[in-house]
Amino acid sequence: MDGTQIDQVRRFNRTVTERVGVLHGHYLGRGRPVGEARLLWEIGEQGQDVRRLRERLGLDSGYVSRLLRSLEADGLVTVEPRPRDRRVRTVRLTDAGRAERAALDRRSDELAGSLLEPLNAAQRVRLVAAMAEVDRLLTAATVALDRVDPDHPDAQHCLRSYFTELRERFETGFDPARSLLPDAGGLRPPHGLFLVARLHGEPVGCAGLKLPPGAPAEVKRMWVAPHTRGLGLGRRFLAELEARAAQHGFDVLRLDTNRALGAAIGLYHSYGFQEVAAFNDEPYAHHWFEKRITSVPSE
Amino acid sequence: MDGTQIDQVRRFNRTVTERVGVLHGHYLGRGRPVGEARLLWEIGEQGQDVRRLRERLGLDSGYVSRLLRSLEADGLVTVEPRPRDRRVRTVRLTDAGRAERAALDRRSDELAGSLLEPLNAAQRVRLVAAMAEVDRLLTAATVALDRVDPDHPDAQHCLRSYFTELRERFETGFDPARSLLPDAGGLRPPHGLFLVARLHGEPVGCAGLKLPPGAPAEVKRMWVAPHTRGLGLGRRFLAELEARAAQHGFDVLRLDTNRALGAAIGLYHSYGFQEVAAFNDEPYAHHWFEKRITSVPSE
DNA sequence: GGAGTTCTCTGACTAGAGTCAGAGAGTGGA
DNA sequence: TCCACTCTCTGACTCTAGTCAGAGAACTCC
């Protein structure tokens, strides 16, 4: 990361907060405090529990409560206890609330339009493409990789999605029972670990690592949610797993994969894996890969 | 401007205000209200008059005064009457103020760094390039074109810069006295007009239009400040002049230029001008261009 | 020297955006 | 049934970021 890059990022921040920020306050603020507008937005068409709103917006419970009272007084929302658990309260938009939300929506469109308006068609295309790129890369930078137990709900969610996808993509379908699965404890310390990637708290990918004593480390069950592909997450998982395997003193990382997973195979090649002879008899595998890594035993 | 573009701009706005905005408040806000920080920044190394600070930041005089009192109480600035006009007061940073400003600067760097930090080298390069593009195009969209009298200080500033540049770039140098200049009134109504481009209030370009009765309209003295080249300003000037000439009922737009101005010649070609035989005996011209335009007499 | 102007400052207010410490209703398990 | 816990709400504050209406000093022009 060099000084020129930092300077460019700072220039970008200044220009963007100036242009977008000023217009944002100007358009969206009209007549309604930003806090209320955000809330109105976050409630959505089907309503939300108050606690969830609080989490999503990261606000104090007292503050949210007060905002809701104000929206309620304006007739934009109704707040009712959830039948099953009457401590939890559910917020729903009234018709007036829906109308107000649509108005916000329109203003948001106007704001976007006013950024493009002074430009000619060619410039618009370039601006939008550059914005998409910035958007994608900033999003990528927001994804967090955390080690969790494979039984954690987020891990389970990813694994279910992973199996579903394999079932759809493998020519032969996929039955976890037929596959060489690590035993229950295989992906938790001390002989393994499991990572999930999260974007705004939602799980969007996973990867497991087997650390068998006396054998090479092995990547298992790497999966990235379709809507977050193209952010370089697969590569980041590999780098993280490689670093962790190295920390545990391993000097070879390997994995097997199915020929239907073309993008993954491309990734393994470009990340420095070499194709090797079959090192196991996984029935769903067509390719086996291996990479020498630099062991860095922790002291 | 289509819906997909609007959607992408909105996604961009959301991601950017989230990432940049959150970090902005977090980093820069530390210990000092944003208002004070902005002021500290705007004072700069050599100090500033209070009125100018007010203008630049667009703030109420009472508010600025109070912010200055607070900075003064913290020993960061000194405020003194200007010797020549004791109504105007000049703010200067103390050593402590300079240190505080440097700390803000560092935090700004950290903020920029924290956006890049989670990315790998290739992604950083792509992000920075995309940010530069967004920055450039949003800046382009901020430039305003206004009609002014050619004697207006902003117009004069541009014209002086224009002549200086011609003097440096023409093989033969440039002496306005030898050139075919429109007479004093030539670039003001009813037989002409003069435009300046302004970015944040600063003049960054100009272009004149002659509207001689019974002859084609003519572009004169088009100039764009070096630091704003590449924003499509030249093309925007031409489009604006063409539209205005058309409004006045002209159906041909022409201009002459010197062979040293390669970029301009490229622009004229790509904008639809055809090279024609010399239509005047301007001693500094090597190329003459003409474009048919659609006359739209105002009713 | 006086009138009108310019510039800055002070006092009095307002709105938004939160924070913090309970209170009270509701739930689940021993 | 009781106890601990969860969830939401209320009251009492705080801090920013302003706005508005003069007051008073300094300047300019006549």
Domain residue ranges of chain B, discontinuous segments joined by +: 3-118, 144-292
The residue ranking higher by pLDDT, B70 or A3, is B70
User: Which of A6, A7, A142 to probe by mutation at the B interface, max B CB count within 10 Å?
Assistant: A6
The residues of B between 6 and 65 with beta carbon within 7 Å of nucleic strand D are 33-36, 59-63
pLDDT tops 90 at residue A28:
no
| pLDDT value for B173 | 84
Are residues B21 and A17, on separate chains, in Cβ contact within 8 Å?
A: yes
Position B221 scores a pLDDT of 92
Q: Do B134 and A9 touch (CB under 8 A)?
A: no
pLDDT in tens, B39-71: 998 998 889 999 999 988 889 999 999 999 999
Angle, helices B121-142 vs A121-142, to 10°: value is 140
Same CATH fold, B144-292 and B3-118? no
Do the Cβ atoms of A113 and B6 come within 8 Å?
yes
Spatial distance between the Cα atoms of B20 and B196, rounded to a whole number of angstroms:
33
Does the beta-carbon distance from B135 to A11 stay under 8 Å?
yes
Mean pLDDT score, B265-284? 92
> What residues in B contact A143, CB-CB < 8 Å?
118
Q: Coil, strand, or helix at residue B209? A: strand
- Spatial distance from the CA of B66 to the C1' of D20 (Å): 15
Q: What is the pLDDT of residue A25?
A: 62
Contacts of A123 in chain B (CB under 8 A): 137, 140, 232
Q: Which two tokens stand for residue B268?
A: 């004229």
Q: How large is the average pLDDT for residues B121-148?
A: 91
pLDDT at B111 (0 to 100) = 83
pLDDT (average), residues B34-42: 89
**Of A225, A185, A180, nearest in space to A207 by CA:** A225
pLDDT band at B26 (very low <50, low <70, confident <90, very high): low
CB contact under 8 A, A9 and B126: no
Minimal CA separation from A9 to chain B, in Å: 6
Question: For A159-178, how does the pLDDT look when each residue is reduced to its tens digit (9 = 90+)?
Answer: 999 999 988 988 888 887 77
Residue nearest to nucleotide D26 (CA to C1'): B87
pLDDT grade for B295, boundaries at 50, 70 and 90: confident
pLDDT greater at residue A115 or residue B236: B236
Q: How far is the CA of A127 from the C1' of C23 (A)?
A: 54
Contact B217, B187 (CB under 8 A): no
- Model confidence at B185, pLDDT cuts 50, 70, 90, reads low
- Those residues whose C-beta lies under 8 Å from the C-beta of residue A232, and which sit 6 or more positions away, are A140, B119, B120, B123
Average pLDDT, chain A: 88
pLDDT of residue B133: 93
| Of A9, A112, A140, Cβ closest to residue B10 | A112
Q: Which residues of B touch A127 (CB under 8 A)?
A: 133-134, 137-138
Q: Give me the DSSP letters along A115-177.
A: HHTTS-HHHHHHHHHHHHHHHHHHHHHH-EEEE--TTSHHHHHHHHHHHHHHHHHSTT---GG
Question: Which residues in chain B are contacts of A12 at CB distance < 8 A?
Answer: 131-132, 134-135
Instruction: Band the pLDDT of A97: cuts 50, 70, 90.
Output: very high
User: For chain A, first and last CA: distance in Å?
Assistant: 29
A195 touches strand D (CB under 7 A): no
Q: CA of B199: which chain A residue's CA is closest? A: A15
> What residues have CB less than 8 Å from A206, skipping those under 6 apart?
A155, A158, A159, A162, A194, A195, A196, A197, A221, A222, A223
What average pLDDT does the segment B1-18 reach?
83
CATH for the stretch B3-118? 1.10.10.10
Question: What mean pLDDT is predicted for residues A108-117?
Answer: 86
In strand C, which positions have an atom below 7 A from any protein CB? 6-12, 15-22, 24-28
Confidence of residue B297 (pLDDT cuts 50, 70, 90): low
What is the residue whose two structure tokens read 């959505």? A44
Average pLDDT over residues A250-266: 93
Where residue A26 falls among pLDDT bands split at 50, 70, 90? Answer: low
Spell out which residues of chain B touch residue A5, defining contact as CB-CB under 8 Å: 112, 116, 124, 128
Task: Say yes or no to pLDDT of A151 above 90.
Answer: no
CA distances, B259 to each of A241, B166, B179, B217, B262 (Å): 61, 11, 15, 22, 6
**Per-residue confidence (pLDDT) for residue A282, from 0 to 100:** 86
Average pLDDT for A108-123 = 86
Residue B298: band (very low, low, confident or very high) from pLDDT cuts 50, 70, 90: low
pLDDT of residue A189: 82
pLDDT on residue B181? 66
Footprint of strand C on the protein (CB under 7 A): A 33-36, 59-63, 66, 81, 84-87; B 49-51, 54, 61-62, 64-66, 68-69, 79, 87-89
Burial class (CB in 10 A: 0-12, 13-18, 19+), A207: buried
Between A179 and B66, where is the model more confident? B66
| CATH hierarchy code of domain B144-292 | 3.40.630.30
Q: CA(A55)–C1'(C20) in Å?
A: 18
- Is 70 exceeded by the pLDDT of residue B210? yes
Contact yes or no for A10 and B108 at CB 8 A:
yes
CB contact (8 A) between residue A123 and residue B232: yes
Chain A contact set for B28 (CB, 8 A): none
Q: Inform me whether the pLDDT recorded for B154 exceeds 90.
A: no
Higher pLDDT, A119 or A31: A119
- Compute the distance between CA of residue A209 and CA of residue A220 in angstroms, rounded to an integer: 6
pLDDT at B78 over 70: yes
Is pLDDT larger for residue B176 or for residue A48? A48
pLDDT for the residue numbered A197: 94
CA→C1' distance for A86 and D6 (Å): 11
Yes or no: say if A244 and A208 are a contact pair by the CB < 8 Å rule: no
Q: What is the pLDDT of residue A264?
A: 93
- Considering only alpha carbons, which residue of chain A is nearest residue B141? A118
* CA B141/CA B148 separation, integer angstroms: 20
* pLDDT the model gives residue B61: 93
pLDDT number for residue B270? 94
Q: What is the pLDDT of residue A234?
A: 94
State the residue for tokens 């962790």: A244
DSSP, res B181:
P
If DSSP states are collapsed to H, E and C, what string results for A200-246? CCEEEEEEEEECCCCCCEEEEEEEECHHHCCCCHHHHHHHHHHHHHH
Distance A57 CA to D14 C1' (A): 21
Q: What would the mean pLDDT of B151-168 be, rounded to a whole number?
A: 89
pLDDT higher than 90, residue B30? no
Token couple for A50: 């108050």
Residue at the smallest CA–C1' distance to nucleotide D17: B35
Lowest mean pLDDT among A54-68, A225-239, B69-83, B106-120: B106-120
pLDDT at residue B24, rounded to an integer: 67
Residue closest to B89 by CA, chosen among B38, B40, B53: B53
Q: Which one of B127, B238, B240 makes the best mutation probe of the A interface by having the most chain A beta carbons within 10 Å?
A: B127
**Per-residue model confidence (pLDDT) at position A68:** 95
Q: What is the pLDDT of residue B184?
A: 57
Hey, are the CB atoms on B115 and A134 less than 8 Å from each other? no
The reply to whether A255 Cβ lies less than 7 angstroms from strand D is no
Q: What angle do CA A49, A54, A56 make, to 5 degrees?
A: 95
Contact B5 A232 (CB under 8 A): no
Q: Is B254 in a helix, a strand, or coil?
A: strand
Q: Summarize the confidence of residues B28-34 as an average pLDDT.
A: 73
State the average pLDDT over residues B81-105: 91
